[in-house]
């Protein structure tokens, strides 16, 4: 029982972590809460669904297709809705992000209709594998596996490549990096592309897991993933992973104990409690504000 719920929780949590990474990277660089991120996740799920149902492609190809589509979308969103606002107040950029979010979810409502759509059964063959008293489905293994591969790839990009170095420098100090000859606009576009691709992968995985893709799935998933990012310490990449897993596991355990109608409150209660004890999140760095 315990092991079973733990696996369920890790599967859900790794999806939260994938979405949370996008929030945390964007926040780390331009201190913007990208409220449209949840909708990118939703669009990713729809693109994956389209690819699987109409083009009959393999689930992995669908994930990659959705990632590429959302990468382009993320870069375009940044270009249209955020770039002009980089120098103005953060609240204006926030409202702009909320506008993008409303726009995308109502666009999806118009295009795909209000009812939830499911993936065809042939999308991914589900088998149960028993380990001890826990039944682990191949689907859960797929989710955890894909999430792990993507996070390792991200860690590699951020730590080992030149553009990753530029990203870290920009998030450390925007103006100084610009002075050092880093093309900050390109770095920001790249960050949006990376974050959106991860969210799209998360979207397809959630769509297959719950077998439901709907126009309003982005809002709650986005809010929870953002809570995960803040829980882990916003701006910190390992923090987002930790926060996502923590939220996923505690949510699943909360439901298992019998608080299923409080499902959405669990994540936020943990968040509020952690922030009260440690206002910078679990792995966040303390920033001393100078006058």
Partner 1 sequence: MGDFLQSLVNTIDPYLMQILVNVGIAVILALGLNVIVGLTGQLSLGHAAFMSIGAFTSAMITIKSGMPFSLNLIATGVVTAVVAAIIGFPILRLTGDYLAICTLGFAEIVKVFFLNFEPTNKALGLTVPSAKTVIPMPIYVWGTAILAIILVTFVQSSRFGRALKAIREDEIAAEAMGINTTRYKIQAFALGSFMAGVGGGLYAHFLSYINPSDFGFLKSVDILSMIVLGGLGSVPGAVIGSSVLASAPEFLRFMSQYRMLVYGALLVFLMVFRPNGLLGGVNFTELLLKAIGKSKSPAPAASKKK
Q: Which of residues 28-47 bind partner 1 (CB under 8 A)?
A: 31, 33
Give the residue, chosen from 98, 148, 149, 152, that forms a contact with partner 1 under the rule CB under 8 A.
Answer: 98
CA angle (120, 64, 59) in 5-degree steps:
25
CA-based torsion, 51, 190, 23, 198: positive or negative: positive
Q: Are 43 and 200 in contact (CB under 8 A)?
A: yes
When the beta carbons of 89 and 175 are compared against partner 1, the nearer one is 89
User: How many other CB atoms are found less than 10 A from the CB of residue 116?
Assistant: 15
User: C-beta of 99: minimal distance to partner 1 in Å?
Assistant: 3
User: Of the listed pieces 54-62, 159-167, 191-199, 260-268, which binds partner 1 according to CB under 8 A?
Assistant: 260-268
Q: Which is nearer to partner 1, 159 or 269 (CB)?
A: 269
Task: Please provide residue 136's backbone torsions phi and psi, each rounded to the nearest 5 degrees.
Answer: -105, 125
Footprint on residues 178-207 left by partner 1 (CB under 8 A): none
CB 32, CB 90: distance < 8 Å: yes
Contact 210, 11 (CB under 8 A): no
Between the alpha carbon of residue 132 and those of residues 8, 13, 256, the distances in Å are 15, 22, 19
Site for partner 1 in 208-237 (CB under 8 A): 219, 223, 226-227, 230, 234
Which of 125, 100, 92 has its CA nearest to residue 42?
Answer: 100
Stretch that binds partner 1, among 26-34, 112-120, 167-175, 193-201 (CB under 8 A): 26-34
Of residues 124 and 226, the one with the C-beta less far from partner 1: 226
The pattern of x and - marking residues 62 through 91 that bind partner 1 according to CB under 8 A reads ------------------xx--xx--xx-x
Residue 172 beta carbon to partner 1: minimum distance, rounded to whole angstroms = 18
Of 96, 108, 205, nearest in space to 150 by CA: 205
The site for partner 1, by CB under 8 A, has a size of: 47
Candidate residues 27, 46, 69, 119; the one interacting with partner 1 per rule CB under 8 A: 27
Among 75, 141, 178, 275, the residue binding partner 1 under the rule CB under 8 A is: 275
3 state SS for 40-79? HHHHHHHHHHHHHHHCCCCHHHHHHHHHHHHHHHHHHHHH
To partner 1, the closest distance from the beta carbon of 80 in angstroms equals 7
- Position 265 contacts partner 1 (CB under 8 A): yes
In the set 11, 45, 51, 104, which binds partner 1 (CB under 8 A)?
A: 104
Burial class (CB in 10 A: 0-12, 13-18, 19+), 196: buried
Which parts of this chain interact with partner 1 (CB under 8 A)? Answer: 27, 31, 33, 80-81, 84-85, 88-89, 91-93, 95-96, 98-107, 109-110, 219, 223, 226-227, 230, 234, 261-262, 264-265, 267-269, 271-272, 275-276, 279-280, 289, 291
């Amino acid at each position: 029982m315990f092991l079973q719920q733990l696996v369920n929780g890790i599967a859900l949590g790794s999806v939260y972590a994938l979405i949370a990474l996008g929030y945390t990277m964007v926040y780390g660089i331009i201190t913007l809460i990208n409220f449209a991120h949840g909708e990118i996740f939703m669009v990713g799920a729809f693109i994956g669904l389209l690819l699987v149902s109409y083009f009959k492609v393999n689930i992995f190809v669908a994930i990659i297709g959705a990632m590429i589509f959302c990468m382009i979308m993320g870069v375009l969103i940044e270009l249209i809705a955020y770039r002009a606002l980089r120098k103005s107040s953060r609240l204006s950029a926030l409202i702009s992000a909320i506008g993008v979010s409303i726009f995308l979810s109502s666009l999806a409502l118009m295009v795909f209709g209000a009812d939830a759509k499911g993936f065809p059964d042939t999308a991914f063959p589900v088998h149960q594998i028993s380990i001890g008293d826990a039944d682990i489905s191949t689907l859960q293994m797929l989710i955890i596996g894909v999430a792990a591969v993507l996070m390792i790839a991200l860690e590699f990009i951020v730590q080992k490549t030149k553009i990753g170095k530029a990203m870290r420098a920009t998030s450390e100090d925007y103006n100084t990096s610009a002075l050092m000859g880093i093309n900050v606009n390109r770095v920001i576009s790249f960050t949006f592309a990376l974050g959106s691709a991860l969210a799209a992968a998360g979207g397809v995985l959630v769509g297959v897991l719950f077998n439901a893709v709907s126009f309003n799935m982005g809002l709650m998933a986005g809010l929870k993933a953002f809570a995960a990012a803040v829980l882990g310490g916003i701006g910190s990449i390992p923090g987002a992973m930790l926060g996502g897993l923590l939220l996923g596991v505690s949510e699943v355990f909360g439901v298992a104990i019998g608080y299923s109608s409080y499902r959405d409150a669990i994540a936020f209660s943990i968040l509020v409690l952690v922030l009260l004890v440690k206002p910078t999140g679990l792995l966040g760095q303390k920033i001393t504000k100078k006058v």
